[in-house]
Amino acid sequence: MSLSPAITETLFAIGAGPQLVGVSDYCDYPQEAKKLPRAGTALTPSYEAIVRLAPTLILCEAAASAPRRELTALGVTKFVPWLSLEDIVAGTRLLGALTSQAAAADALATKLWDGLAVAEAPNGPRVLLVLGEGTGKLSEIYFVRRNSIHGAALRAAGARNAVPGDIAGVPRLSIEELLRLDPDAIIVLVSPSPNAPSDADILHDYQALEPLAARQHNRIVVLKSDEAFAQGPRVLTLAEHLKQKLAELFPTPGKAP
């Protein structure tokens, strides 16, 4: 059983999907995952559903707030670190070992490492990668930290993270902090949805921040991608989408105002 969308995606990618007896409420990729019984979330598991499904192994991301004692009481549980590129490469190999899919897992881990383990471009544009807010109203801005898998994707796309250093806590900024950072560009990640707000609505409050260099140079944009919030193998596709978006914003590589 997997209580993590990223772990579920990875299990299917290495050929271990058929071994799953249940998944979390948020596991919606690939399509086969949608057909599996639901068992709550990593933070609020449905203990009754887990007992009913009787998994021999429960897989969960190693988040500090995960109910470790309660899950462990139900059966063998592995809490897999799943934040940085290094975590996810190691976690992919661990999943392979746990499911007798070591060869496929090793191949996927190598593909992730080769695609994303890229040194930061010293002259790359300073980009703030933001997790989209549908309302367009800004109070706090949740951004992609450098030491995450999405941070690695941004780096692989040729940009520098506008927020320097690794972030241990919740990655969020105030409007005042954003103005002090003054990134060369802001990219707002959004998952496509039939009911999603327009780009103009999403960017409404950003466009009001006229002192920002990104605002002055029309470099505050929305990136709609099915892979926007993926933390499994599809992050490689997200890196390509980011690279394409950066090429549009900065036609001359490495040049920022």
- The tens-digit pLDDT sequence of the chain (257 residues) is 999 999 999 999 999 999 999 999 999 999 999 999 999 998 999 999 999 999 999 999 998 788 999 999 999 999 999 999 999 999 999 999 999 999 999 999 999 999 999 999 999 999 999 988 655 467 779 999 999 999 999 999 999 999 988 888 889 899 999 999 999 999 999 988 888 788 888 888 898 899 999 999 999 999 999 999 999 999 999 999 999 999 999 987 555 55
pLDDT for res 169: 82
From 200, 87, 206, 182, select the one nearest 128 (Cα to Cα). Answer: 182
Cβ–Cβ under 8 Å, residues 126 and 162: yes
Return the pLDDT at 255: 53
DSSP labels, 215-237: HHTT-EEEEE-TTTT--STTHHH
Neighbours of 66 (CB within 10 A): 19
* CA–CA dist 42, 7 (Å, integer): 11
Instruction: Give φ, ψ of 226 to 5 degrees.
Output: -60, -25
Backbone torsion region of residue 165, taken as left when φ is above 0, otherwise alpha when ψ lies between -120 and 50, otherwise beta: left
Q: pTM of this prediction? A: 0.91
Q: Is the CB of residue 231 less than 8 Å from the CB of residue 6?
A: yes
